[in-house]
Structure 1
Amino acid sequence: MFIALISWGQQPDMQEVAKLEDVIEAIVADNEDANVEQLLDDLQAFREAPLNINQCQRADLERLYFLSPVQIDHLLTYRQQYGSILSPFELAQVDGFTRQLIGWLQLFVVFGSAEASRRFFPTRQEILLRAIRQIELQKGYKEPRKYQGSPEKLYLRYRFSSSTVRAGLTAEKDAGESFFSGANPEGFDYYSAFATIGLKDDQHQLFLGDYLARFGQGLVAWQGFSLSKSAEVNQVARFGQGLRTYSSTDENNYLRGLGAAFHWGNFGWSPFVSCKKFDANRLQRAEETVFTSFQSSGLHRTANEIDDKNSVSALTIGTNLTYTFQRFSLGVTGVYNRYGLALDRKDADYNQFLFEGRQLTTVGANYQWGVNRYYFYGEAAWSGTKGFAFIQGVEGQLADQIKLSLLYRSIGKKYNAPLGSGFTENSRLNDEQGLYVGATVEPLANVSVKLYADLFSHRWIKYTTVAPAKGAEYLLQVNYQLNDEWEIYGRYFYEEKPVKSKGSDFQFNLEQKREKWRVHLSGAITDRYFLRSRLEWIDYQHEEQSKGWLVFQDFGWRSKSNNNSAWLRVAYFHTDDYDSRIYTYENDLLYQFAVPAFYGKGMRFYLNGKVKICEKTDFWMKLARSWFIGVDTIGTGYSQLDANSRTEVKFQLRFKF
């Protein structure tokens, strides 16, 4: 154990980067649509200005995502009983802290007295510029041209932080959007700004501009990144983080206005108001203009997409009151939404119980309670559509080597919450009942076994079904630490759920099954060279069977000074069709994380590098190319390429001062 702890204190930067990516990939899993930008922001901020483990509070640790409520309780209890934690060696004595967890935690904390490190420097500023370009032109850029802008994707970011003020500006132009012309004479297609002011030594906070609301377990209000099912099987409980500054590029899922967080003793109060516009499909019906659906892509390239941009306004008023005493907290949240136009959805059976109209009120109550080695949490909510929702969960450290998580949810088919995002199989917080069980077992010091089972059902039809349905999902992963530098894991995943048949005359639910196997090996050859290898298979069955596999090899390098680094990947994939697609993470630029889907037959190559130009200036570059075998075109519609390869280049420059 002592030798292993020594290795934690000597991790080279290349292995730190690999560990950081392991954290993110484990949390995000195979979700290419996951909004991880806020997660990356949080983790990178802690990496550059680490938490002092002897000074940080529960709310700080909750933002690390990979720590469970029980683990946070154990860490704070240990600190209270034994005083300051002076080295990572000591973390091994904290109940429930594994070798992997300590390795992850070391990336974001420092040890020593409270004065040894400050969470924020007196003043810090950062400017980041990014440009992305796909070399081959898509159909939308060719005559007759449909995309109104150039194929470059441009991004600008400014951040300022001091002891009492945090502020920032984000600007983005997606590929195909106009820039200082057409629909965007003012420059970028999207602008976002925020400012947070701390009052009375951060006892109170004022939020101006763009922000997020994240309360309870998400039944009433939860925006931005949220935990779901993943290989981190015990990370399912939500930490209600209250109001948070927003600095990402999701152009719709945030609030814009004014908010505040006040704290008096054990009580906290967070009122907020927002007035903003969002993208939607408008339609003239009878004598009234309505909108029929929300548009969440954030793309404004074609005439139709531009017409949908900021076409409907939304007024949101909300409040949260929370009482906290030691390891217990109780909160009440209420949100009122009013749209500038009435929502009138498409006349379809799957839309029967979804909210329609102009205004909706949602209220809920949530609690958290830590008892010994157990952590109980839950939330109950009601919406103005006469719907109810309920979530109840518990996490427990049954023994030093066994962790268990249980979560039950019951979301009524009449329940609707415009700001809500709970733990569900379905992306929409509506009509779902389910039971999740996750466990981590460590039978040996260098072996861990992670598994979960999730059983769920829907009482009404969905867009993908024609009758009420039940489904199940299972995951088993075994990690084996070969030595201080090398680790291997194997993973098995199985999912079955009904999906409607593809016939147009008569449709019925037909069982869809998906099985996936993965073997992953990673380690360091020396303190400057790193390797990662993966082999993955998939077997998909619905009306027809579809199979596929993927293999990749990563090579990592860093300079002696740690200022320069590079990653090279060579991958080969072979799947029957899109149904047997395989997701895999990719190294990317700072604040970016890619989880693309691969299908068909072909190869993938990329080179990703970082160069430190000077003390306060860094440069990143990525060159990626995919070759597809046996095809003459890639993609469909305006995104179609008349080629069998796709090439992308990315550049990023950061100034810190």
Structure 2
Amino acid sequence: MKNLLIVVLSFCPLLSFCAGEGHEWEQFLYQLSELEDIESSSWESSFDLLCDLEENPININTASREDLEQFPFLTAKDIEDISEYLYRYGPMKSLGELVMIKDLSYYKRRLLFYFTYAGDVHKKVFPSLKNIVKYGKHEIVGTLKVPFYNRKGDINGYLGYKYKHSIRYDFDYGDYVRLGFLGSQDAGEPFFAGRNKMGYDFYSFYLVLKKLGHIKTLALGRYRLRFGMGLVINNNFGFGKLSTLSSMGRGSSNIRAHSSASDGNYLQGAAGTFNILKGLDVSLFVSSRKFDATLNKGDSTIATILSSGYHRTKTEMDKKNNSSHFLFGGNVDYRSGRFYVGATAVYTSLDKELVPKTTAVYRKHYAHGKTFYNIGVNYGYTGSRFSFSGETATGGCKAMATINTISYNISDRMSVLALQRFYSYKYYALFAESFSEGGAVQNESGIYVGLTWRPISSLNIMAYTDFAYFAWPKYQASNSSRSSDNLLQLTFMKSKWTFAARYRIKVREKDNADKTYLINKIDHRGRLSAAYSSNELRLKTQVDLAYTSYKENSMGWMITQNAHYKLRKTINLDLSFGYFKTDSYDSRVYSYEKGMLYSFSFPSFYGNGIRCAFVASCDFLKSFTFIAKVGTTKYFDRDQIGSSYQMIAHSSATDLDLQLRIRL
């Protein structure tokens, strides 16, 4: 009976959503995004993670729990259900079998087609060097961005030319070996000149081995990692409130290569996870690297640790690699049945003392010192209906942070999640990243409750409410303050059509104009969209609305049309056009548009204007893919764009992106 179902499912319509059809997961990521998410540094890390997973898909038949935990849209129960299906029925012969896991939603099944494949199951023996060299896959990607305009800094101020470019090489052998390097150059940075005599401004090198006997993962070079809920260390990925609801707030522990152009959010050295006994894993890591910092005048202590990675001007170049850290730590993870418990410890030493400027009261409890340590305990249980997870941490700051989640599957169609967090205003950890309203694991306590409900198979409802309290003053709030955040999103899918609606209201206390008392800043945001999808054609129309009430009222809106057409089997065309009109930056709007491979493309707009982008990709000679993108933004309410060195003395700006990928 199972074999008959497999034959039928192998030809199911889901197969139309293969990688060649475009990056539909980017649309999913955009649907789970909010204003704060896209503007946070963790968003780029999350995007890089999914790009890596798309280019290096996982064999679902041999995937470990750690492999499946990399997917941010899967809950702990989803992972258990997939593992249980494989244990009970054996390897999948096609990903169409995912439909037989009844609690796995249609949208999640569709997304898994981009990041997994149903491959053969071999004995868990690490391949020989001969086979790795012979059967490994090579990928080379070159990218160039050409602006058809000059910024003020391009004429006088920047050390380099106005072109942005990068080169990327990646070698992989299944789930076992990944080796690569990346060189990246931002516009305005010197190339083979000045302090960049070795060529690119930024390089990344990495080697990752997996499933090497008792070595689950071994990373050398530049890497990222996350343990537990991220209260001690997490520079791997992080999402906002909607995505937390999608994954039901589960934590994860993993190590991966740093293969992106981000210059400020990685470790350098070695990291590994080792299986000691059944259910017992130990991870160790060490890092030594230089980083950018703003130094205090006079004593050369560190005022601010920088992560932008820009070295375009003499001032920015003087800050390049002017400080360093030495870090080591470990994690112990034990699992027995559905229960798990773990512990993480990290010690960091800086070559200069960190002394943030505390003239502003909200900075008083920022991380400070020359040596830091943090320890945390994470724990959880995954049941068929009830699950919980959490982490509690402390450190040299002598303060505590804790986050705890409880989720319950009321039925196959309805799940609820409750999340509690308390981050003392005195707690700090240099590499912490976790769920928060205020953007940091510090000075916040709150309660979050979310609901996902599929009343019928074609309708999905997601809703949450979140209340937060900030005991110590924050930026633009001179006293203790509060916030509330509420969202409702509906998605209806029928045949080839998808309709979505979202409304969000956020209230946060901030200073009044005279900074004598707090007043509410109220943000209303809405989104309506309709999408049509077939094998050759995809269309999507979207309307975004924003209304902000604070010191002044501000309203904005944008209507966007996206179209994708597949011409034959080798050519893909994408067109996006949008018109926007907003009163100010506070009512800015975002629009998704397709970009280059490994490219982050969720631009924001404010003022009055239009945005148009055209992307064409072509596969040729089996191993080559060429992608070109032309994008232009025209403003009707200004004669110049940007400010300072980034100022463009025109009302419009046009860019050309070119990319060549070779896969062997």
TM range (shorter): over 0.9
Deviations 1:429-488 (A, max 9, x none): 11100111111111112111111111111000012211111101111011111x321110
Please point out which of 344, 355, 376 is paired with 1:344.
355
**1:623 counterpart SS class:** strand
Q: Deviations over 1:513-563 (max 9, x none)?
A: 100111111113x531221100111111101100011001112111221x2
Which residue identity lines up with residue 492 of structure 1 in the other structure? Y
Distance in 1 (CA, whole Å) between partners of 2:169 and 2:55 is: 16
Map 1:258-407; keep pairs closer than 5 Å: 258-265=270-277, 266-285=279-298, 288-347=299-358, 348-407=360-419
Aligned-pair distance for 1:65?
1.4
Cα gap change, 1:401 to 1:334, in 2 (>3 Å): same
Alignment of 1:191-230 (within 5 A): 191-198=203-210, 200-201=212-213, 203-230=215-242
Q: 1:92 Cα deviation (Å)?
A: 3.4
1:520 aligns with 2:525: no
Listed as ranges, the matches of 1:36-435 within 5 Å are: 36-48=43-55, 50-87=57-94, 90-111=97-118, 114=121, 122-142=135-155, 145-162=156-173, 164-198=176-210, 200-201=212-213, 203-230=215-242, 233-235=245-247, 237-265=249-277, 266-285=279-298, 288-347=299-358, 348-435=360-447
Structure 1 partner of 2:520: 511
User: What CA distance in whole angstroms lies between the structure 2 residues aligned with 1:580 and 1:141?
Assistant: 30
CA contact (8 A) 1:70 1:396 kept: no
Contact 2:139 2:663 in 1 (8 A): yes
Contact 1:130 1:154 in 2 (8 A): yes
Q: Deviations for 1:22-43, whole angstroms, at most 9, x for unmatched residues?
A: 2222344433334455544544
> Which stretch shows the higher mean deviation, 529-538 or 21-30?
21-30
Cα distance in 1 for partners of 2:431, 2:388 equals 24
> Amino acid of the residue matched to residue 335 of structure 1?
V
Q: Return the offset for 1:313.
A: 1.0
- Contact 1:8–1:103 under 8 Å retained in 2: no
TM-score in terms of structure 1 length: 0.93
Structure 2 residue 549 is matched with structure 1 residue 544: no
Give, in whole Å, the separation in 2 of the partners of 1:250 and 1:634.
Answer: 25
2:39 equivalent in structure 1:
33
Distance of 2:165 and 2:56 partners within structure 1: 27
Q: CA contact under 8 A between 1:159 and 1:169: conserved in structure 2?
A: yes
Separation (CA, whole Å) in 2 of partners of 1:383 and 1:245 = 27
1:635 has 2:648 as partner? no
TM-score (norm 2): 0.92
1: distance between equivalents of 2:84 and 2:17? 31
Cα RMSD (Å): 2.5
Point out the more displaced range, 543-552 or 96-105: 96-105
| Contact 1:38 1:247 (C-alpha < 8 Å) held by counterparts | no
Of the structure 1 ranges 537-546 and 75-84, higher mean CA displacement relative to structure 2 is found in: 75-84
Q: Which string of whole-angstrom CA distances, capped at 9 and with x for unpartnered residues, describes residues 355-409 of structure 1?
A: 2111111100101211222221100000211110001102221101101111110
Unaligned runs of 5+ in 2: none
Tell me the alpha carbon deviations over residues 275-319 of structure 1, each in whole angstroms, 9 at most, x when there is no partner. 11111111233xx32111122211111111111111111111111
CA distance in 2: counterparts of 1:600 and 1:423, whole angstroms: 32
Given that residues 573 and 601 in structure 1 are in contact (C-alpha distance below 8 angstroms), is that contact kept between their aligned partners in structure 2? yes
What one-letter code is carried by the residue in structure 2 that aligns with 1:281?
T
Closer/same/farther in 2, CA of residues 119 and 499 from structure 1, 3 Å limit = farther
Aligned residues with identical type, % of pairs: 28
1:416, distance to aligned residue in structure 2 (A): 0.5
Compare 106-115 and 483-492 and name the one that shifted more. Answer: 106-115
> Structure 1 residue 77: deviation in Å?
2.3
Contact 2:45 2:238 in 1 (8 A): no
Decide which of 591, 596, 599 is 1:589's aligned counterpart: 596
Shift in alpha-carbon separation, 1:310–1:603, aligned structure 2, 3 A: same
Distance 1:209 1:415 in 2: 30
How many angstroms apart in 2 are the aligned matches of 1:368 and 1:26? 28
Matched AA of 2:103 = G
1:498 match: secondary structure = strand
Structure 1 residues 501 and 638: CA distance shift in structure 2, 3 A: farther
Q: Secondary structure at the match of 1:71?
A: helix
Task: Show CA shifts across 1:21-69 (max 9, x none).
Answer: 2222234443333445554454445445543333322222111211111
Counterpart position of 1:577: 584
Unaligned runs of 5+ in 1: none
Which is further off, 532-541 or 125-134?
125-134
C-alpha distance in 2, partners of 1:49/1:179? Answer: 30
1:554 aligns with 2:586: no
What is the identity, as a one-letter code, of the residue corresponding to 1:517? G
Question: In the alignment, residue 39 of structure 2 is paired with which amino acid?
Answer: D
> Structure 1 residues 598, 369: closer, same or farther in 2, change over 3 A?
same
State the distance in 2 between where 1:419 and 1:579 align: 30
